[in-house]
Amino acid sequence: MIREIHAKTILSRVAGVDTHFGLDYGMNLYRGCQHHCIYCDSRSECYGNDRFDEDVLVKVNAVEILGKELRAKRRKGVVGTGSMNDPYMPLEEKAGLTRAALEVVAECGFGVHVVTKSDRVLRDIPVLQRIARTSTAAVSLTITTMDDDLARRVEPGAPPPSARFSALARLSEAAIETRIALMPVLPFLEDTWDNVSRIVEEGYRCGVRTVIPWFGMSLRDRQRSYFYHRLDESFPGLRERYEKAYGCDYVCPSPRAVALRAPFEALCARLGIRTSVRPTLAPTVEEPQLFG
C-alpha cells in the first residue's frame, strides 16, 4: 500500500560529528521502503513504523517544508538522505520527491549526500552537478557483496551490485563524488577478505575514492525476528550461528572484523581511498575546555 501523509518537519540536525557520511542535516521524504532488505534496522520498534514492509508513506508536503527549513538556516551544510529508506526505490519514479528535494537543495546553496542501492540515481545527475558547482554533491552506493545472486537473497527489491558499480562509473564520469557504503557486512555471509577486497578494487576502477565500512550489523527486536525468519527461508541452519554468536546483542560485529580492518585500511591507503569523512559544519579543532 502507498499512502500519502503530511509531515510537520523534514530537516533534522545530525548530532555530533558524522565521520561516516559527513552529514550536517538529515531528511527522510518517505517512510517504509520497497527494497525489502532482510537486515534493515528501520524495522525496529523504536522507529514506530509497524508496517515497514507493507506500506510506504509519501510525505506529500515534504518539498515545501524543506524549502522553508533550509532558508531559515544560518549556516549551510550537507543534507543527507537515505538513512531510513532508499530515496530511489521504485516509487520515486512516480512520486519524484527526491528529485524535487534535490532541486530545493541546489536553489538554497546546500550540499547533499545520497545513500542508495539503486541506479535510478543516474536520472538526477544534472541537478547533482548543479549542487557540486557550489558545494558537496556525493552519492554512496551501498555494496556489500560482489555476488548478484547473494544480493538478490538479502536485498530482494534492489538492483544488483553489478548495476550499482555501473552507476558509480557513470556518476564519476559526470564529476559527481562517488563513494561506497560497505555496510552492513553480514557475518558468515559477506565477511571474507576476497569479497571485501574485490569490492574496494572494483569501486576504485569505477572512480570511487571513499569507502566507509562496517564489518558487522545491528540486530534488535522486530528487526532480529524478521532477519531470522528470512535466514530460515534462504540460508537454512545459519540462524543458529547468529543466535550462538550474538544472543540478544544489538551491535553484532563480524568475528572477522578485527582481521579485516588492517588489510582493508592498507588496501585503501595504497589506492588513495578515504575511509572516513567530515561534515561541512564540524569544528576543525577540538573545542577549548572552559574549565580545567
The pLDDT value recorded for residue 202 is 98
The pLDDT value recorded for residue 135 is 94
Angle at 35 between CA 33 and CA 39, to 5 degrees: 90
- 47: confidence class by pLDDT, cuts 50, 70, 90: confident
Q: What is the pLDDT of residues 161-176, one digit of tens each?
A: 999 999 999 999 999 9
119 touches 159 (CB < 8 A):
yes
The least confident of 47-61, 219-233, 278-292 is: 278-292
The pLDDT value recorded for residue 196 is 98
- The letter for the amino acid at 115 is V
* pLDDT value at 289 more than 80: no
- The letter for the amino acid at 217 is M
* pLDDT value at 287 more than 50: no
Mean pLDDT, rounded, for 98-105: 98
Query: ω into residue 213 within 30 of 0, thus cis?
Result: no
172 touches 206 (CB < 8 A):
yes
143 touches 199 (CB < 8 A):
yes
| Residue 129, all three cell numbers | 552537478
Q: Cell 508513506 sits at which residue?
A: 57
Mean pLDDT, rounded, for 271-278: 94
Q: Which residues are 142's β-sheet partners? A: 181
The pLDDT value recorded for residue 257 is 98
Q: What is the pLDDT of residues 216-253, one digit of tens each?
A: 999 999 999 999 999 999 999 999 999 999 999 999 99
Rounded Cα distance between 271 and 204, Å, is 7
Percentage of the chain beyond pLDDT 70 is: 97
The pLDDT value recorded for residue 288 is 37
Rounded Cα distance between 54 and 28, Å, is 18
* pLDDT value at 212 more than 90: yes
Q: At what angle do helices 161-173 and 125-132 cross, to 10 degrees?
A: 50
Q: What is the pLDDT of residues 116-143, one digit of tens each?
A: 999 999 999 999 999 999 999 999 999 9
- The letter for the amino acid at 242 is Y
Rounded Cα distance between 28 and 198, Å, is 32
- 195: confidence class by pLDDT, cuts 50, 70, 90: very high
Domains of the chain, earliest start first: 2-216+260-271 (3.20.20.70)
* pLDDT value at 292 more than 50: no
Q: What is the mean pLDDT of the chain?
A: 93
Q: What is the pLDDT of residues 8-25, one digit of tens each?
A: 999 999 988 888 899 999
pTM for the model stands at: 0.93
The pLDDT value recorded for residue 227 is 97
The pLDDT value recorded for residue 285 is 38
